[in-house]
């Protein structure tokens, strides 16, 4: 018979359940999260095909994670603002705009990282094939 799970371990596991529920919400309801996830999967497939170096995998993984996390923060901020007020308020607008701007900055950074990693390889491939 298995030993019972103590209270702190149980709380720890419940926290993971809530975190996965949040990721599930993002996957089901946030179109931009789905788009970023698809682009991240394409980047991973391209990395496999082009056999990128280990340090490039690190940069790619961190970049994908950064963009997805930024989308999560953006969604959380938007939900919190919507909960706080249903009226149009300048501070609510600032909160939502800044959160969306942060996602945009992360996405633009991801494009730069992608160009640095994949650009030279794809350019060489294009030159060889043409």
Active site amino acids: 71
Q: Please check if 7 is assigned to a binding site.
A: no
Task: Tell me the residue ranges of DSSP E strands in 5-45.
Answer: none
89 is in an annotated binding site: yes
Please state, as a whole number, how many other Cβ atoms lie within 10 Å of the Cβ of residue 73: 13
11 is in an annotated binding site: yes
The annotation status of 56 as a binding-site residue, yes or no, is: no
For the chain, how far is it from start to end, CA to CA, in angstroms?
Answer: 67
96 labeled part of a ligand binding site: yes
**54 annotated as belonging to a binding site for a ligand:** no
Q: What is the DSSP letter of 51?
A: T
User: Contact 36/68 with Cβ under 8 angstroms?
Assistant: yes
Token representation of residue 34: 């789905």
Detail the residues annotated as belonging to a binding site for a divalent metal cation: 78
Detail the residues annotated as belonging to a binding site for substrate: 11, 71
Detail the residues annotated as belonging to a binding site for ATP: 11, 18, 78, 87-89, 96-97
């Amino acid at each position: 018979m298995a030993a019972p799970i103590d209270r702190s371990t149980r709380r720890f596991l419940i926290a993971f359940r809530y975190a996965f529920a949040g990721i599930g919400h993002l996957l089901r309801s946030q179109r931009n999260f789905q788009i970023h996830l698809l682009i991240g999967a394409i980047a991973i497939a391209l990395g496999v095909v082009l056999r990128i170096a280990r340090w490039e995998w690190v940069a790619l993984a961190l970049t994908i994670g950064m963009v997805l996390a930024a989308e999560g923060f953006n969604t959380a901020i938007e939900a919190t603002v919507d909960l706080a007020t249903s009226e149009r308020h300048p501070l609510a607008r600032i909160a939502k705009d800044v959160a969306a701007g942060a996602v945009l900055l992360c996405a633009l950074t991801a494009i730069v990282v992608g160009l640095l990693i994949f650009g030279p390889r794809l350019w060489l491939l294009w030159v060889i094939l043409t």
